[in-house]
């Protein structure tokens, strides 16, 4: 049995005759063991060349040999034609020829996971009112961190804009547009992706809040300004439901819902800020799976 067979069997009524084995945070393992997994340079993670992406993703997936893999999104056609990976000695940058801007990238150090759990999710201004949060959220939604090359934590800082207009289209228009945006996952699934279980990932709304305000301040806001946290959770839930739709069309077979630190809040807070929203997540996941079975 390959990885796909084992995990699909594990979710069946009959169960699996072989136990699937996976790493929960594959992107961290890849980050810390890059040279052991592939001969490709680390900055291929950001390359707009689809062949670079295909090369390193296949290398690391087969080298690790676990039963699932994170199915990544690539660049759309406009981006791939107008972006260029630039190497100047040790400096790595991407040049955008549409406006002649340049963005530099730096390889994160091994074991640097704590540095990624901060405040603001890449934005300097921290919101403390509903109006400020709306402004913050508009920038966050354009960057779509759940979809931008999901493998590496450093991808959280990769702010090339995504096409936010896709959420306003009907299902047929959305699927046609995604044929352009999702060329990379389509090629992976066509080549070798079905040997493994293609996985997507979303984050629980309260866990997002911890990444906006930091742990200590979020815990305080739950008491002192629960209305703001509740508003943020509603916005993050709507955002996550859109991501579930996109992941389904990409071709994932399952979605990992990451919802950390919930043991640190009261049972009543868990019901209000976690349980209700997670039920919405699961309902959307089941609905997407049912749609795909009918196609």
Q: What is the CATH number of the domain that holds 239?
A: 3.20.20
Q: Which segment of 101-115, 203-217, 249-263, 271-285 scores lowest on mean pLDDT? A: 101-115
The answer to whether the beta carbons of residues 219 and 270 sit under 8 Å apart is no
- In this predicted structure, what is the pLDDT of residue 153? 37
Encode 77-116: b = buried (16+ Cβ within 10 Å), e = exposed: eebbeebebeeeeeebbbbeeeeeeebebebbeeeeeeee
On whether residue 254 sits in a domain, the answer given is yes
- In this predicted structure, what is the pLDDT of residue 133? 94
Q: Six-digit token pair at 39?
A: 């001969």
On whether residue 72 sits in a domain, the answer given is yes
State which of 105-119, 121-135, 215-229 shows the largest mean pLDDT.
215-229
- In this predicted structure, what is the pLDDT of residue 155? 38
Provide Rg for the chain, Cα atoms: 19
Confidence of residue 176 (pLDDT cuts 50, 70, 90): low
- In this predicted structure, what is the pLDDT of residue 160? 32
pLDDT reading at 120 higher than 80 = no
pLDDT reading at 289 higher than 90 = no
On whether residue 10 sits in a domain, the answer given is no
Give per-residue pLDDT as tens, 193-227. 999 999 988 888 898 888 889 888 999 999 999 99
pLDDT reading at 117 higher than 60 = no
Confidence of residue 36 (pLDDT cuts 50, 70, 90): very high
Q: Which segment of 37-46, 142-151, 179-188 scores lowest on mean pLDDT? A: 142-151
Average pLDDT over residues 78-82: 82
On whether residue 78 sits in a domain, the answer given is yes
pLDDT reading at 253 higher than 60 = yes
Write the burial class of residue 24 (CB in 10 Å: 0-12 exposed, 13-18 middle, 19+ buried).
exposed
Q: What share of the chain has pLDDT > 70, as a percent? A: 80
Average pLDDT over residues 20-46: 90
Place of tokens 């703001």: 228
pLDDT reading at 58 higher than 60 = yes
pLDDT reading at 75 higher than 90 = no
Which helix (H) or strand (E) is 29 found in, with range?
helix 26-32
Give me the domain span that covers residue 192.
Answer: 24-294
- In this predicted structure, what is the pLDDT of residue 46? 82
On whether residue 5 sits in a domain, the answer given is no
- In this predicted structure, what is the pLDDT of residue 179? 65
pLDDT reading at 7 higher than 80 = yes
- In this predicted structure, what is the pLDDT of residue 161? 34
Give per-residue pLDDT as tens, 21-33. 999 888 888 888 9
Domain count, the chain: 1
On whether residue 235 sits in a domain, the answer given is yes
On whether residue 4 sits in a domain, the answer given is no
- In this predicted structure, what is the pLDDT of residue 132? 94
On whether residue 208 sits in a domain, the answer given is yes
Identify any residues that bridge with 257 across adjacent strands, giving them in sequence order.
Answer: 202
Confidence of residue 237 (pLDDT cuts 50, 70, 90): very high
């Amino acid at each position: 049995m390959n990885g796909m067979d084992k995990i699909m069997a594990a979710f069946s009524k009959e169960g699996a005759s072989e136990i699937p084995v996976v790493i929960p945070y594959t992107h961290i393992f890849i980050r810390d063991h890059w040279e052991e997994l592939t001969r490709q340079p680390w900055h291929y993670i950001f390359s707009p060349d689809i062949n670079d992406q295909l090369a390193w993703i296949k290398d690391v997936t087969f080298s690790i040999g676990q039963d699932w893999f994170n199915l990544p999104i690539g660049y759309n056609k406009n981006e791939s034609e107008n972006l260029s990976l630039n190497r100047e000695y040790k400096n790595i940058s991407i040049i955008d020829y549409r406006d002649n801007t340049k963005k530099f990238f730096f390889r994160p150090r091994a074991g640097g996971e704590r540095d990624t759990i901060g405040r603001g999710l890449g934005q300097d201004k921290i919101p403390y009112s509903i109006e400020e949060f709306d402004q913050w959220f508009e920038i966050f939604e354009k960057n779509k961190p759940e979809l931008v090359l999901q493998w590496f934590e450093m991808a959280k800082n990769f702010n090339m804009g995504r096409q936010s207009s896709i959420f306003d289209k009907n299902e047929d228009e959305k699927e046609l547009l995604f044929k352009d945006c999702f060329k990379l996952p389509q090629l992976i699934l066509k080549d070798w992706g079905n040997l493994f279980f293609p996985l997507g990932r979303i984050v629980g709304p309260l866990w997002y809040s911890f990444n906006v305000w930091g742990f200590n301040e979020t815990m305080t806001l739950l008491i002192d300004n629960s209305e703001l946290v509740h508003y943020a959770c509603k916005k993050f839930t709507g955002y996550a439901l859109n991501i579930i739709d996109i992941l389904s069309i990409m071709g994932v077979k399952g979605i990992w819902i990451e919802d950390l630190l919930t043991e640190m809040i009261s049972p009543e807070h868990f019901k209000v800020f976690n349980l209700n929203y997670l039920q919405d997540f699961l309902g959307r996941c089941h609905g997407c799976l049912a749609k795909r079975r009918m196609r």
